[in-house]
A and B are shown apart, each in its own frame.
Chain A
Amino acid sequence: MVEPIAPPPVSAETMTLNMGPQHPSTHGVLRLILELDGETILRATPDIGFLHTGIEKNAEKLYYSQVIPLTDRIDYLAPLSNNLVFCLAVEKLLKLQIPPRAQWIRVLLTELSRINNHLVWLGTTALEIGAMSVFLYCFREREEVLKIFELCSGQRMMCSYFRIGGLAVEPPLDFYSRVDGFLKMMPARIDDYEDLLTENRIWLGRTKGVGVLSLDDALAYSITGPNLRASGLAYDLRKECPYSGYENFTFDVPSRSEGDCYARYSVRIEELRQSLRIVRQALDGLPEGPIQADAPGVVLPDRDKMKAEMEALIYHFKLVVDGFAPPAGEVYFPIESPKGELGCYLVSDGGPRPWRMRWRGPSLFNVQLLAKLLPGHLLADAVAITASVDFVLGEVDR
C-alpha cells in the first residue's frame, strides 16, 4: 500500500540540507535530512534517536507503581494521558474496579491535558508560520492549565498524579473553582485565536492544500488521532472503545476530509471546544465517593488508618518494600491521547516488575509522515507541515 519514494537522480544542482537536530523549528531534536532543488524539497529523511531515554527498558527494573513518574517524561506535553494509559493497563492486568469519582477526575484532567497539548501545538504551529502573538496567547492560557495541574499534583508538567487504583490524593477545594474559572474564560480565548488565524488570508495560503494526507495513506501509515480525523475518518477511541467512563460523556468527534494543514488546524480547534465540553460535564456531574479502589494489596493505605490499624501498616510496608505482583499475562490498553492512539503493552511474569513494557506512541507514526508529505513542497512548507503533524520527540525515542 505504501509506495516507496523513488530517490531522485543525483545531480550537481541539488543541495543537502541538515535541518536539525539544532534548529528552531524541529520541535526538540529531530534531524531532517532534506534534499533541495532551490527551495523545493525532493526528498526528506527524518533521523530520530537524539532524545533516547530508555524509559521502556528502565521500566523493567522498577515496581509497577514506580513506573508512573517515568511515563510523564514520554510525552511531556500530555503527561496525564501517559499516566492514565499506564494505570489503565496495570488495572486491566489486575482486573481492578475504579470508583466513579476517580474516573471522573481522571477524565477531567486528561481532557485538560489535551487542551494543554493542543494549545502548545497551535502556538508552535502559528509561530512556525510567523504568527508570533498567537504563540504567546496560547502559552498564557496553557499556564492556567499548568496551574490547575500544580494545584492537584504539586507539579506543573510532570504530574504523576494518577495511581494504580485511583488518584494520589483528593484534589484541594479551590481546584473546582479554578477549573470553573478556566472553563468560563477559555471559549472567548479560542475565539481570539480564530480571529487571528482562521480567516487570515496569509494563514489560509500557508495551510490550505499544504501537506495533503489522503485517507488511504493515513491508514497505511497507521496514523490515528487528529491527523486521521483531518483526513476524513472520524475515529476516536473515546467513542470506539470507551475507557475510564467516557461512555458517560456527550461530545462530538470533529473530522474534516481535506487532510491538509488547515484541516489539521481546524480539527484541533474544534477538539479544544469539545474537550471544554467534557471538562464541564465532568466538573458538574462529579460523583461523590472514594478516589481509590478498595484493593488493599495494591493501593497505599490511608495515613490515618496506618496509625490505627495493624493491617494497614503491614500493607504499607509490603507495598513499599516488595511492590505488588499482578498475575502473569500480557495486556494491551489503548487510549485516545491528544496526538492519537496511545497504547501501553505490558507483559507480566507474575513478579512485581513489568517483564516488558512497550509504548505505542502516536508521535513515532506522525514523524514517519514527514518523508511522505514533504517532497514536492517548499522549504517554508516543511516547517509548517512538521509543526502540523504534531509529535513530541520524547515519545518518538522513548
Chain B
Amino acid sequence: MVANSGSKGPKLNEPMDVEPSTSKSNIGIDNRPWIERYRPLYFSDIVGNDEIIKRLKEFADVGNVPNIIMAGPPGVGKTTTILCLARQLLGAAMKDAVLELNASSDRGIDVVRNKIKMFAQQKVTLAPGRHKIIILDEADSMTEGAQQALRRTMELYSGTTRFALACNNSEKIIEAIQSRCAMLRCSKLTDAQVLAKVLEVCEKEQVSHTDDGLEAIVFTAQGDMRQALNNLQSTSNGFGHVNSENVFKVCDEPHPVLVKDMLNQCVAGDIAKAYKIMAHLWKLGYAAEDIISNIFRVCKGHQMDKMLQLDFVQEIGKTHMTIVQGTNSLLQMAGLLARLCDKAKSYRK
C-alpha cells in the first residue's frame, strides 16, 4: 500500500494495460476506490464546465494565474480542476510548491497567520510566471476571522503565491476575499456527461450492466460524478450486475417510478391511490426527508402543466421546510398529497 501511494503516476496507466483481464485482478493491483482511480489528471479528461476548463488551460500554458475561487455543488470536479491546474503549472515541483488544506486540517486564525504565511515565505525555485499554490478546499467552512486574516496575506505574498479556493456556497466567503479572486462558477454535470463517464468506467472495469441500471445510476447521482462512480462501484461489488433494481437497493432511495406514479395520481386528483403509494413508501422505512427530496426531484423534471407545476413545487418546498423543522410524520406527507390534489382540482375548474 505504501509503495502504491508513492507512485501514483505510472500506476494509473495499469488498468489500461491489463484491460483484458477481469476486474478482480485489477482490484488486486489497485486498492483505491474507483472515484480516486479515475480522477482526471489532465484538463482534457475533465468532464463538464468546458468554458472554465478552457480558460484555465490558457492560463496554465501562459502562467500568471490570478487567485481563483471555484464554487459549485459537490462532485463536479472543483478540487480535481485545481489539482490539474497545479500539475500543469508546476509539473515536478508540485510536491514542494503546493500546500493543500481542507476542512479537516486545522484552519483557525492561527493556522492562516502562521502556516500559510510560512509557506508563502518559503523559497521555491520556479519558472517565471509560475507561483506556489495554496489550495484551500471547502473554504466556505473557514471561520470569518480566519478569512479576514487571509485577505491581506493574499496580497502581500502575491509575488510568489497564488490561492485557489474551492467551496460549495460562495456566499459564505467574505466579500473582501471574493473581490481578490476570480470567481469560477461550476454548474452541475448534465446527465449525458455523467452517463458517458459511467459507461467509460463500466468498460474499463468490465461491469455487467443494463441500460436501465445506468439510467438509475445517473438519476441517483443528480449531476454528482463522485456519487455516480461510488454508486456504480457499490452496486457492482455488491451484486455483480448493475440493473435498476440493484441500484435502488444499494442507494436505498424511494423508487422514482413509484414517486412519479404518485404525482400523476395527484394531478388526476385521486387522493386515495396517491396515499396508498405514500403509505407503501413509508412502510418501507424511508425517512420523510428522503421521500420529500425525491418527490421534489421527480416533480421538477415532470412533464406537466407549468402553472400547476409551480404550485406543486411550492407546496413541496413548504412541506420540506416543516419536515426540516422537525415535523416529520406521515400525517405531513398525507397533508402534502391532499394539498396537491386540491391544487390540481382547483386548477382544472
Q: Is chain B found bound to chain A in the same assembly?
A: no
- Report which A residues bind B (CB closer than 8 A): none
